[in-house]
Amino acid sequence: MTPDLIQEPDTSTNIKEESVAEVFNVEPVNYTTLNDMEQTFIPEMKNDPFQKEITSLQHQLQQSTLERDAALRKVEMLSASIEELLVKRQQAELTAFDALEKLKLSKSMLHQLNQDKEMILYYTGLSSFDLLSDIFYALHPALHHDPRFKISLKEQFILTLMKLRLNLGNKDFAYRFDIHRTTVKRYIEKFIDVMYVRLPPALLLLPDSKASKLTMPLSFRKHYPNCIAILDCFKINCEMHSNIIDKASCYSKYKSHHTAKYMVSMTPQGSINFCSKGFVGRSTDVEIVKQSGFVKYVREGDQVMANHGFLIGEEIEALGATLVTPAFKGLRPQLEGSETEFSRIVSNERIHIERGIGNLRKKYTILRGPIKIPEMNIDFNRNAFIDKIVVVCYCLMNAMPSMIPPW
């Protein structure tokens, strides 16, 4: 071996021990085993004066932890008890609410109408509660329910029908339903607007010609098989206008009163298929027919039945249709026998529309008048509120069984 490769002894450990001993001025101790360390330090820890205090604090911490756990368990039990009490209180409130609702329902107009057919016919003009419900559900998509309403939407609908049927005052409805008069007015206007939009497409329309001929009464089928409409006008008394021109226009010499005039068309089956807007009382039947737009529904080969006042033969014949009216005597002393028989047949068939108008006035007394001036004002669609009421009444009338027998 060469001298360069001779290893010198490692003296780093001894240097560290000596340096530590020199710094702390203690003699270095070599511990050969763990037992030697325990025998050295444990006696000193046992004699430590802080050990008792540490042990006492540890015991107190354990006691506090146990007390905390017990308190948490107690809080959980109390929380569960509170939840049970809350559930019981909610159940008690629901039970009391159901009892109150049952009490209200037993006294409500809705419940009473559902139990009595004569009562629903008297207050609403409809034949059954099922028919009332069907019409309401047809209107329901256009209605908005607000939890602030004091009465339900169905009760508001019944209130509106009662207004049309009996024409009671708003104060009367306010007392009956325990609401304010202005609220009554809002409910009625809302439902009239909704019914005016949703009911005519289903209940106020011209029937198909083939369906009309198949369902036509036998008397019409024998004499006037192509008849599609029977025309007539009726008037409703209205309040006197302050404007002198409007006052003169609405005055009807025939009725000796200020009136609004409407033209109505009825099918041979007895349903209303057209209703004009309101005109002033001095308007003639010819003017109303021309301005109402009825002529555009007439087709070639149709027959239209009317009375003497409807001098619209030229307009009807220009469309290839026929106007059927009773014979007119004119300057002659009397009618011929054939003309008399013809007039008798026409009058027997045309009387149905007069019965229909009379039945409408009898069923919905609001159409007896008088119409208030605000109800005759037109809106931005040029529809007066009274016009909407007339259309709605005819739609409700069409929902009832026909008054014309099938023979």
Please report, in tens digits, the pLDDT of each residue of the chain (407 residues total): 444 444 444 444 444 444 444 544 545 555 445 455 545 545 555 556 677 778 888 888 888 888 888 888 999 999 999 999 999 998 888 888 777 666 555 457 778 888 888 999 999 999 899 999 999 999 999 998 888 888 889 999 999 999 999 999 999 999 988 899 999 999 999 999 999 999 999 998 888 888 888 888 888 888 888 999 999 999 999 988 888 888 888 888 877 888 999 999 999 988 999 999 999 988 888 999 999 989 988 989 899 999 888 888 888 999 999 999 988 877 788 878 888 888 888 888 888 899 999 999 999 999 988 888 888 888 888 889 999 999 999 999 999 888 777 66
Question: What CA–CA distance (Å, rounded) separates 211 from 298?
Answer: 16
Question: What CA–CA distance (Å, rounded) separates 388 from 201?
Answer: 14
pLDDT, residue 15, reads: 43
Peptide bond into 370 cis (omega under 30): yes
Name the phi and psi angles at 278, rounded to 5: -75, 140
238 to each of 187, 319, 370, 383, 403, how far by Cα in Å? 23, 36, 4, 17, 29
Retrieve residue 190's tokens. Answer: 């809302």
**Nearest CA to 203 among 403, 404, 406, 391?**
391
Work out whether the CA dihedral 343, 349, 354, 358 comes out positive or negative: positive
Q: Give tens-digit pLDDT for 309-360.
A: 888 888 899 999 999 998 887 778 887 888 888 888 888 888 889 999 999 9
pLDDT, residue 407, reads: 60
pLDDT, residue 160, reads: 95
Answer for the pair 266, 360: CB distance below 8 angstroms, yes or no.
no
Answer for the pair 179, 369: CB distance below 8 angstroms, yes or no.
no
Domains of the chain: 110-198 (no CATH), 207-398 (3.30.420.10)
Q: How many helices (H) and strands (E) does the chain have?
A: 17, 7
Answer for the pair 258, 239: CB distance below 8 angstroms, yes or no.
yes
Strands (E), 97-185: none
Answer for the pair 163, 103: CB distance below 8 angstroms, yes or no.
no
User: pTM here?
Assistant: 0.71
307 to each of 220, 223, 257, 330, how far by Cα in Å? 17, 17, 23, 14
pLDDT, residue 309, reads: 83
Answer for the pair 209, 268: CB distance below 8 angstroms, yes or no.
no
Answer for the pair 391, 201: CB distance below 8 angstroms, yes or no.
no
pLDDT, residue 21, reads: 47
Retrieve residue 204's tokens. Answer: 């106020």
pLDDT, residue 4, reads: 46
Question: What CA–CA distance (Å, rounded) separates 47 from 193?
Answer: 100
Q: Directed axis angle between helix 153-166 and helix 129-139, to 10°?
A: 120
pLDDT, residue 340, reads: 86
Answer for the pair 309, 292: CB distance below 8 angstroms, yes or no.
no
pLDDT, residue 191, reads: 95
Name the phi and psi angles at 252, rounded to 5: -110, 120
pLDDT, residue 36, reads: 54
pLDDT, residue 156, reads: 92
